[in-house]
Amino acid sequence: MDLQFDCIVVGSGVSGTQAAFSLRETGKSVAIVEEREIGGTCVLRGCDPKKVLAGAMEAQQLTKRFVHKGIEQTAKIDWEKLMAFKETFVENVPHDREQQFAQAGIEVFKGTASFSASDTLCVGNDRLSAEYIILATGARPALLAIEGKEFFRTSDDFLEMSHLPKRIAFVGGGYIAFEFAAIANAAGSDVAIIHHNDQPLKNFDPDHVALLIEKLQEEGVRFYFDTNVTKISQVKGNYQLQGKDFSLEVDQVFSTIGRTPNVEKLHLEKANIQVGKKGIQVNENLLAAPGIYACGDVADSEGAPLTPVDSFEAAQVVNHILGVSNQTTYPDIPSAVFSSPKLARIGVRAIEAKKEPDKFHVNEVDMRSWYTYRRTNEQVAFAKIVTERATGQVAGVELISEEADILINYFVLLIAGKWTAEQLQSFIFAYPSPAADLTSLLTKMSML
């Protein structure tokens, strides 16, 4: 059947859903296409379910820090019950989201979309045409291309494990490996992280990464750096990982080397759309070709592959379609690793700022003795604050602590508002709280 719409959105994740609802609110006819469960990665098999599991890890770690300080013993995680709780956050999403689409007047097509012309997509037996097409197909876990790669499991599988394996290995040293390793270790697994070089989490401060590694090692996580896994074999139901001078047997092995943009099924060549290693190539307006936009994790844009960036890019695409905005300008974007302790950062990195001492000042602060961290017996709490010498304004922040994910968002506001330490002193924050530490973080000169 041939059908005509004002806009077609491919993908029902964060960016696709936001674009579809926003465009429909303006009165445009909108279709949305999804080949998997409606809802997308973040809600169904990414950020949201992961954070539920991380919550149990945080509770377990908190009780461990309070043993002999009022708590009798460390809490034990029941994996099966935890996964059942996690499922309550995702099980109704596809049905509820589809109902929301229907109520909004957005037509849903389930199946794989592929271009037959620059303004037309085929989905099963339907041919959908539109003035505007938005590609928001996201990305999927990448598999290391080695012998035995079929034995790899991915982050999708981890978040669906009904039973926790006794021995787990993560091949790759990025966000997902450090987060899942901390979760699995807290739940009782013997965990190993294997990384091809000695610089895991390369986008975060190396001193803070080293502290995180040290803490995880104390908890029992094993690290194998400068190690390349070249083969996986199945041995009596288990898996043997092999490399040069390396061998490790585990019950489950996960590929955590990154994600791959979902472009293969779209037949992009029929719409003259170019694709690079990082995804669909777009201009400053997120245009991939006349009338065709790409946003979120499938787009090779300036934005990092993070859920808030997906939402931001969707809003920019809608604004461009409506003629409200002609160029996408990204604000400073925070990022966090939900391990234990947590890492967080935004803006200019301390390691780069130190190369320009005339322009930037780097304030390195040991917060372990501060009330905020002593009250929960935290052993790791450090910050690096980069300020501009000429203005005193905050240019970048790097944190490691159990409160890092909360504290970094205050700095988002400070950076966006171009506030200085003097201006911050005019505000009164609730005490005691992490926000009450902001002024001290900008003025304390305690060096690491």
Tell me the pLDDT tens digit for each residue of 69-107.
999 999 999 999 999 999 999 999 999 999 999 999 999
> Structural domain tally of the chain?
3
User: CA 152 → CA 170, 196, 257, distances in Å?
Assistant: 10, 17, 11
Please give the pLDDT value at position 126. Answer: 94
Torsion sign across C-alpha atoms 342, 348, 352, 356: negative
pLDDT > 70 fraction of the chain, expressed in percent and rounded:
99
CATH number for the domain that contains residue 98: 3.50.50.60
Please give the pLDDT value at position 444. Answer: 61
327 domain residue, yes or no = no
Q: Residues 122, 206: one domain?
A: no
Give me the mean pLDDT over the 189-207 stretch.
97
333 domain residue, yes or no = no
φ and ψ at residue 67, rounded to 5 degrees: -60, 135
Q: Could you report the per-residue pLDDT of 360-411, keeping only the tens digit for each?
A: 999 999 999 999 999 999 999 999 999 999 999 999 999 999 999 999 999 9
Cβ pair 153, 159 in contact under 8 A: no
Q: Cis before residue 341, ω within 30 degrees of 0?
A: yes
Q: Are strands 246-250 and 238-243 parallel, antiparallel or unpaired?
A: antiparallel
Q: Residues 159, 114: one domain?
A: no
Please give the pLDDT value at position 445. Answer: 46
Average pLDDT, the chain: 94
- Confidence label for 324 from pLDDT (cuts 50, 70 and 90): confident
Query: 278-291 as b/e, with b when 16 or more CB fall inside 10 Å?
Result: ebbbbeebbebbee
Please give the pLDDT value at position 422. Answer: 86
CATH number for the domain that contains residue 409: 3.30.390.30
447 has pLDDT over 80: no
- Confidence label for 328 from pLDDT (cuts 50, 70 and 90): confident
330 domain residue, yes or no = no
235 domain residue, yes or no = yes
Q: Residues 253, 266: one domain?
A: no
Q: Could you report the per-residue pLDDT of 429-438, keeping only the tens digit for each?
A: 999 999 999 9
Q: Residues 349, 201: one domain?
A: no
**CA 82, 15, 325 angle in degrees (round to 5)?**
150
Q: Residues 85, 218: one domain?
A: no
Q: Residues 243, 294: one domain?
A: no
Farthest CA pair distance, the chain: 70
In terms of residue numbers, what domain contains 405? 341-443
Q: Which two tokens stand for residue 390?
A: 């000429």
Last residue of a domain, one of 257, 278, 312: 257
Q: Residues 158, 131: one domain?
A: no
Q: Residues 438, 371: one domain?
A: yes
Matching residue, tokens 């190369």: 355
Q: Residues 285, 402: one domain?
A: no
Matching residue, tokens 């988002």: 412
Cβ pair 425, 400 in contact under 8 A: no
Q: Residues 115, 71: one domain?
A: yes
234 domain residue, yes or no = yes
- Confidence label for 303 from pLDDT (cuts 50, 70 and 90): confident
Give me the mean pLDDT over the 338-360 stretch.
97
Please give the pLDDT value at position 315. Answer: 94
- Confidence label for 446 from pLDDT (cuts 50, 70 and 90): very low
296 domain residue, yes or no = yes
Residue 281 and residue 275: Cα distance in Å, rounded? 5
329 domain residue, yes or no = no
Residue 99 and residue 395: Cα distance in Å, rounded? 44
Q: Cα 46 to chain center, whole Å?
A: 8
Q: For residue 208, give the nearest of 336, 333, 305, 332 by alpha carbon.
A: 336
Please give the pLDDT value at position 424. Answer: 87
Last residue of a domain, one of 236, 257, 278: 257
Q: Residues 132, 178: one domain?
A: no
Q: How many angstroms separate the first and last alpha carbons of the chain?
A: 66
221 domain residue, yes or no = yes
| CB-based burial label for 422 (10 Å; 0-12, 13-18, 19+) | exposed
Q: For residue 259, give the nearest of 52, 88, 91, 13 by alpha carbon.
A: 13
Q: Could you report the per-residue pLDDT of 108-121, keeping only the tens digit for each?
A: 999 999 999 999 99
- Confidence label for 56 from pLDDT (cuts 50, 70 and 90): very high
Q: Residues 132, 50: one domain?
A: yes
Last residue of a domain, one of 237, 257, 277: 257
